[in-house]
Structure 1
């Protein structure tokens, strides 16, 4: 039985603090722009107050009880990959491809897949709130037609609070339904590490922190022309390699591509941040 003294976490980071702390300025601040609050503009926050939502990964029962199983599982996974990410960053800055075991590479690939699925930007992009409610209304109408003697019971699910709870729980459940096809494609590619060696150039971190680059008609992750990059530090990103084997390091002394890369992350995200306020202002107010 769960102890009543055990606190249920409510503040859930969809980009974990262990990553956000890599992007802070010299005083420990993130400079962030949130599209839902454009009047505030670019402002500074501590990592524990960025990229989070209340109860994001808690299942909510009809009586209001919160089940924090997924949030706690994600915390465990984040703890495992934090050490691996630290090794990747350290060795990339030394000009070396990380010496990861097959198990560590697998853990990184699984985490990349989870990170893609867990963000509100992706979830609401797949099914918006309006679309979710429309789907439920259609299903309830079908149930009422099929079970006319249970219309009162079915009608209770038309209450806004119940519909929000059902949609929320569906999204929570979708996080852990990993795609075997996607993971197989990622395994076939292996792991690549990109390191920016140009001075005073940096990646941003965003609410949808992974950028997929494709060509017309070529979008499958198994296709070597498709890129999927995930910045884990201002100068280091992990992505898909060109084939199975040891991780490969891509030093990037030329930064001419970086502006377009950061703009792509910003445009697909509801919020984005970096240690540089000027960089975030330039992306929030492009000329």
Structure 2
């Protein structure tokens, strides 16, 4: 009797911004207006969130033998599940004018979610730093092959194979790192506090970007999380954002009543994102027209100075 071949798992698209997260921005019809910088000729379009912020097999690690490991996707689902009810509570309390208080377990769940969402963004891996990591990984693999005595292919074939290898390594780096153990990064986040910001301006809202975070400089012009003065803003609804900032302590609610503050966050997100979206068509159109004001040098992420906590303390 002939042995049957292993069943091939059908390839699928993974959301790098979870559908449940996008639902906090979309309307009842679960659609968003969006703009894709790679397809500027198409302008602002509308699409169901089921088809936004996703890519083929983003969190699947492909081995040299073609085997597919989808462990990362499972880990990300667990991280999302732990953070989701906390985010829902933060949104409700912010809209009611109340600051959110967090237990140690909740702070850990939020910190882990922040890190995972930051790591899983394809945009992050397309920055200059991300491309250098891939180049280094390709060089390491080639060196291992040569050390093992493999014959180098012709220059033309080598270029093709290296391009394919680079794509595979870039994909695997994203998949492996998105939900990698958080033991190193989490302690840094746990030394920081959380501030909730809620927009109190009519017809103003946060944008949702493929890079979800607005990174704002500290008074010392630092952006790293080791400086408690730096700010990492994550919009979690059209009118509510959660910020990693300062030191742990009692909850703080920031009433955002200045247009410039909303623009600061949206500008930082748009500058770092390939795609951005909102239920508000006019907002997406306005941001697409003003992209030149936000756009950093190619492959870099613009980090503006803070507009919030340092100015209001």
**Class of the TM-score when normalised by the shorter of the 2 chains:** 0.7 to 0.9
d(CA) in 2 for partners of 1:239, 1:217: 18
Name the CA shift for 1:278/1:217 in 2 (closer, same or farther; >3 Å). Answer: closer
d(CA) in 2 for partners of 1:190, 1:9: 40
Aligned equivalent of 2:206:
203
Equivalence map 1:92-171=2 (5 Å):
92-125=94-127, 126-128=129-131, 131=132, 134-135=135-136, 138-139=139-140, 142-143=143-144, 146-147=147-148, 149-151=149-151, 158=161, 160-171=163-174
d(CA) in 2 for partners of 1:144, 1:112: 37
Deviation of 1:6 (Å): 10
User: Is the Cα–Cα contact under 8 Å of residues 25 and 276 in structure 1 kept in the other structure?
Assistant: no
Q: Which deviations, in whole Å up to 9, do the C-alpha atoms of 1:203-257 show, x marking residues without a partner? A: 0000000111014642331323211100000111111242212332112222332
The TM-score normalised by the length of structure 2 is: 0.80
RMSD: 2.7
Deviation of 1:137 (Å): 5.4
More RCO (CA 8 Å, sep 6+): 1
Deviation of 1:268 (Å): 0.8
User: Is the Cα–Cα contact under 8 Å of residues 113 and 178 in structure 1 kept in the other structure?
Assistant: no
Q: Which deviations, in whole Å up to 9, do the C-alpha atoms of 1:16-75 show, x marking residues without a partner? A: 111111111354320000111111111001111100001000111334332211112212
* Matching of residue 220 in structure 1 with residue 224 in structure 2: yes
Aligned residue pairs total: 280
Structure 1 residue runs without a partner (length 5+): none
Name the CA shift for 1:242/1:161 in 2 (closer, same or farther; >3 Å). Answer: closer
d(CA) in 2 for partners of 1:24, 1:188: 33
Any idea what SS the aligned residue of 1:44 has?
strand
Q: Which deviations, in whole Å up to 9, do the C-alpha atoms of 1:102-131 show, x marking residues without a partner? A: 211210111001111110001221322xx4
Q: 1:81 aligns with which of 73, 80, 83?
A: 83
